[in-house]
Structure 1
Amino acid sequence: MGQGPGMSGADRIPRWVWLIPAALLIIAPFDLPYGYYTVLRIVVCGFAVAVFSQTWENNAPTRPWPLAFVGIAILFNPLVPAHLDRGTWLYLDIGAAIAIVAHLLTVRAKSKNYSDQ
């Protein structure tokens, strides 16, 4: 899809790029080996940084998404991991997964609305 007014670079990212970190976050509350959570942090943080770099624009109405992904990147960064209890991570994992899927749906809806014009 071409870049047009009101479109971000995120509309060119394949859907599976959103779905992989969302799926990893959804299964994170289960009792899994520590290595899984290290991979989860790398994937989610990398995804959040990539989406941030593709969505940051100069107009204020689009700022909530990039700022949300900066928060997700900081929370899931693998270099200085946040050590929180399991119950807290449950809500953060599910919340981050919901944010990722909501962003996917928002980007696709905007892209579809633009292409229909």
Structure 2
Amino acid sequence: MIDRPSNQTTKLQATTPTVLPPMPLPVYLVPAVLLLVAAFASMPYGYYQLLRIAVCGAAGLCAFHSWQARGAWMSTALGLVAILYNPVFRIHLERSDWQIINLATIPVFAFAWLVAKRRWVHSL
């Protein structure tokens, strides 16, 4: 005999929101500001270690949040950013290359925040 779900379960699933609210703006803004400073200023080595930890952590957190919200392409892009800035298994590049990558990563965070915010606003 096939076991059918009760009406109570389907009502609960129908009222559960499918779209998560966006992460707070500082989660997207802090890494972007750190990346902007790193692109134009010559900082001590410790700053770049902090940069890797902050960007990797924020990108990983935002990728997981985007994945839970069913944003496969955005979670993939943020996951790649987290891998690129991983502080444990580092990717060694020249400073000029990192400047370009830092500037290219800023729009990824800005676009991720806009997508998450738009998804949340349209779900209301």
TM-score range, shorter chain: 0.7 to 0.9
Structure 2 unmatched runs, 5+: 1-15
State the match for 1:75 in structure 2: 84
Which entry has the higher C-alpha Rg, 1 or 2? 2
1:13 paired residue among 8, 17, 23: 23
**Given the two structures, how large is their TM-score scaled by the length of structure 2?**
0.79
CA distance in 2, matches of 1:96, 1:52: 14
CA distance in 2, matches of 1:87, 1:39: 19
State the match for 1:45 in structure 2: 56
State the match for 1:22 in structure 2: 32
Is 2:105 the partner of 1:104?
no
SS in 2 for 1:28: helix
**Given the two structures, how large is their TM-score scaled by the length of structure 1?**
0.83
Cα deviation for residue 114 of structure 1 reads 1.9
Q: Deviations over 1:66-116 (max 9, x none)?
A: 11111111110101211111121111111111100111011112211222x
CA distance in 1, matches of 2:94, 2:22: 37
Q: Which moved more, 1:31-40 or 1:103-112?
A: 103-112
Cα deviation for residue 4 of structure 1 reads 2.3
Number of equivalenced pairs: 109
Identity %: 30
SS in 1 for 2:110: helix
Cα deviation for residue 12 of structure 1 reads 4.0
2:42 paired residue among 26, 31, 35: 31
Quick one: which amino acid aligns to residue 68 of structure 1? A
CA distance in 2, matches of 1:32, 1:102: 27
State the match for 2:100 in structure 1: 91
Runs of 4 or more, structure 1, over 4 Å off, are none
